[in-house]
Structure 1
Amino acid sequence: MAPDPYAAAGVDTAAGDLAVELMKSAVRRTHGPEVLGGVGGFAGLFDASALLGYTRPLLASSTDGVGTKVAIAQAIDKHDTIGQDLVGMVVDDIVVVGAKPLFMTDYIACGKVVPERIAAIVKGIAEGCEATGTALVGGETAEHPGLLGVNDYDVAGAATGVVEADRMLGADRVRAGDAVVAIASSGLHSNGYSLVRHIVAGAGIQYGDQAADFGTTWGEALLEPTRLYTTPVLALIDELGADVHSLSHVTGGGIAANLARVLPQGTWVDVDRSTWSPAPVFRVLADLGGLALPDTEGTWNLGVGFFAVIAASRVDAASAVLARHGIDAWQVGVVGDGARPAGDFEQGAKGVDGGAVRLVGTYADAARDGAK
């Protein structure tokens, strides 16, 4: 048999096939009866008959990656949580408009296919999809020798969901006097890792070093996976109904900018820092970088992964729903309109001319308020 010229160029198709075999069972667990054709087809098939029950179904779509957090996974050879990060970044953006996720696809580009590594990444994606009720209907692993190093990879994904048109959430539903409820993050999630890596490198820390503040290695602490909000937030929408007006996923751009995107023009919110205490990971990193916590508010979530803008009378009910899902939630502000106070507000972001938001006050002392 003649030598395989593709293998000579650095692409191992047999390794790719083995990776698919290793991930199959995890992917199949995300499949309900709506998924047709199983694993390995050229296209994923999803039976959309359920949409016939909608009066006016709107399809919601989102695409994203994990960013430079993958560099830490590669540094300590731990790849089983990056998949959950990807699902969180992609699927939880769909929920912002009130949509229920239907299906997702993924894409992994790598310098060399190591079947066990690829399978670990996809297993994490599949577990995240299973937790959010999302079918993982397809994906692609591409080997790019010469472009990426043998241990390098990047991940991306896209997802589609559906919402009834008259139940879609957004800034148009928000009214003056609404309460702004913060929903706790699990840590850094998957944003601001270029700053994280810059701080760690500047401090001379290796990711395998023990971090006394966290009881783990630095790498393990920084790979804390992104919290998945789909199930608890959909429960919030189901239980509070029309009293949920808008939602915001706090990702790239930080706290104020992401909240401003889901407020109507002419409204404003003062987010009260004193209502919560950022987790130790934020404080330790800021101290290492010689930064005050407010300096990082446009980069890190500082403990708030999601916002819900709701009717003021439903704050306790919202907190109770989220508590049943093991997530802290608390009121941080009230939507105002008309003339806003003097001060530096952030208005809109990412092409959205929305409301205006600023953070006021001082963060609670972690020793005094360790619950949030």
Structure 2
Amino acid sequence: MSEYLSYEQSGVSIDANDRMVERIKDSVARTHSPRVINLHGGFAGLFSLENSPDFKKNYKNPVLVSCTDGVGTKVILAKEMQKFDTVGTDLVAMSVNDMIVMGAEPLFFLDYLAVDKLDPERVAEMVSGIAKACEEAGCALIGGETAEMPDLYSKNEFDMAGFAVGVVERDRIIKGDAARPGDVLLGLASSGIHSNGFSLVRKICFEKAQLGIKDTVSELGGKTLGSALLEPTRIYVQPIVKLLEQYPDKCPIHAMAHITGGGLVGNIPRVLPENCDAVIDRGSWDVPEIFKWLEKLGPVEEREMFRVFNMGIGYVMAVDADEAENISKKLAAQGQRVYRIGTIEPGGRKVKLI
């Protein structure tokens, strides 16, 4: 008589999933606030929109804001380095940084992890990075899915996606239509490459230059290449949310842009009125060495660098010129490096690099 087959023999382990859930339980719980309704064995996350001690705002006409994103081919570097927590931070950052562009405050986050074979320790490391980033962003991690698919993913391969939901008062939505000629462009420093352009990064470093992931690079301060490239995306949520709270009436922040794929030249026009251009002075901030090194190593044309990477500016704000200095000081007081990178001028929704 033939042997009975089990799910584990097909490559999927229910026991490993149970161990993983137990390992991530504390990390997830740390992100919860009184607004999270815990339900043992629930099939979905529950989040209350009523006021509670941890949620000071009394929204009169709330609008929900949603975002989703991934980490892209940066996950390949995480696999090669066997370091999985920083890409968890990237996952959260890519969605919540998009959300605050609208003036929204993140409420909760969901993750999706797809793996070839469920390794509870590896997944726990990913989720710990996600949870830590959720704490930093002030949002709750209320649900997720880990899919074990050995027939779809090769050995040790994985991918991840994130989903965030936030809220903004309807008459406080920042659409970008208030931007006007004369506005000052303020740029907030990035932590490095963040999570965009890694297909080009890998082509430069590993295919063309034949470098190894653990090679040290003097131009990058002696760091290994892998550690420099895995530097996680900076989360701008708390500085921006706290700044917006200081302007309850007329807001001098007219437009904001998260600098992701497409760089400065691709993302800023998304929030400009049709009759405005953004004029950016390329010498107004210190471009981090990693971008200079990649540009030279490629070589890559400077214009292409600005189309692919953030070049050291991860977030841009168009603000009233009279408030630009004051806003810069407020952000600097919250630990942000702020640069006055340009102005808004009459034009046709383009970015001019000078």
Query: Where on the TM-score scale, by shorter chain, does this alignment land: which range?
Result: over 0.9
Residue number in structure 2 paired with 1:368: none
Whole-angstrom CA distance in 1 between matches of 2:67 and 2:8: 35
Structure 1 position 41, deviation (Å) = 2.7
Residue number in structure 2 paired with 1:213: 219
Partner-residue secondary structure (3-state), 1:216: coil
Would you say 1:190 and 2:191 are equivalent positions? no
Residue number in structure 2 paired with 1:97: 102
Would you say 1:181 and 2:181 are equivalent positions? no
Deviations 1:222-281 (CA, angstroms, capped at 9, x unpaired): 000000000011122122451111110000111112111111011112111010121011
Q: Which moved more, 1:36-45 or 1:304-313?
A: 36-45
Tell me which of 213, 218, 243 is aligned to 1:236.
243
Letter in structure 2 aligned against 1:213: E
Whole-angstrom CA distance in 2 between matches of 1:193 and 1:156: 16
Whole-angstrom CA distance in 1 between matches of 2:137 and 2:123: 21
* Structural mapping, 1:112-151, within 5 Å: 112-151=117-156
Partner-residue secondary structure (3-state), 1:149: coil
Structure 1 position 38, deviation (Å) = 5.3
Whole-angstrom CA distance in 1 between matches of 2:295 and 2:252: 37
Tell me which of 282, 297, 314 is aligned to 1:288.
297
* Structural mapping, 1:39-58, within 5 Å: 41-50=42-51, 53-58=58-63
Would you say 1:152 and 2:153 are equivalent positions? no
Conserved 8 A contact 1:6-1:12: yes
Whole-angstrom CA distance in 1 between matches of 2:148 and 2:226: 26
How high is the TM-score relative to the length of structure 1?
Answer: 0.89
Whole-angstrom CA distance in 2 between matches of 1:162 and 1:320: 26
Whole-angstrom CA distance in 2 between matches of 1:152 and 1:108: 11
| C-alpha spacing 1:3/1:125, structure 2 compared with 1 (3 Å) | farther
Letter in structure 1 aligned against 2:343: V
Would you say 1:20 and 2:21 are equivalent positions? yes
Conserved 8 A contact 1:267-1:335: yes
Would you say 1:358 and 2:352 are equivalent positions? yes
Would you say 1:226 and 2:208 are equivalent positions? no
How high is the TM-score relative to the length of structure 2?
Answer: 0.94
Letter in structure 1 aligned against 2:231: E
Letter in structure 2 aligned against 1:330: Y
* Structural mapping, 1:300-319, within 5 Å: 300-319=309-328
* Structural mapping, 1:269-288, within 5 Å: 269-288=278-297
Whole-angstrom CA distance in 1 between matches of 2:40 and 2:47: 12
Stretches of 4+ aligned residues off by more than 4 angstroms: none
* Identity level (%): 43
Conserved 8 A contact 1:243-1:311: yes
Residue segments in structure 2 that go unaligned for 5+ positions in a row? none
Whole-angstrom CA distance in 2 between matches of 1:144 and 1:358: 46
| C-alpha spacing 1:308/1:40, structure 2 compared with 1 (3 Å) | farther
Letter in structure 2 aligned against 1:276: W
Residue number in structure 2 paired with 1:343: none
Whole-angstrom CA distance in 1 between matches of 2:41 and 2:191: 34
Conserved 8 A contact 1:112-1:149: no
Letter in structure 2 aligned against 1:224: E
Conserved 8 A contact 1:64-1:156: yes
Residue number in structure 1 paired with 2:77: 72
Deviations 1:93-112 (CA, angstroms, capped at 9, x unpaired): 11000000000100000101
Aligned residues: 344
Partner-residue secondary structure (3-state), 1:199: helix
Letter in structure 1 aligned against 2:193: L
Structure 1 position 212, deviation (Å) = 2.2
Letter in structure 2 aligned against 1:21: E
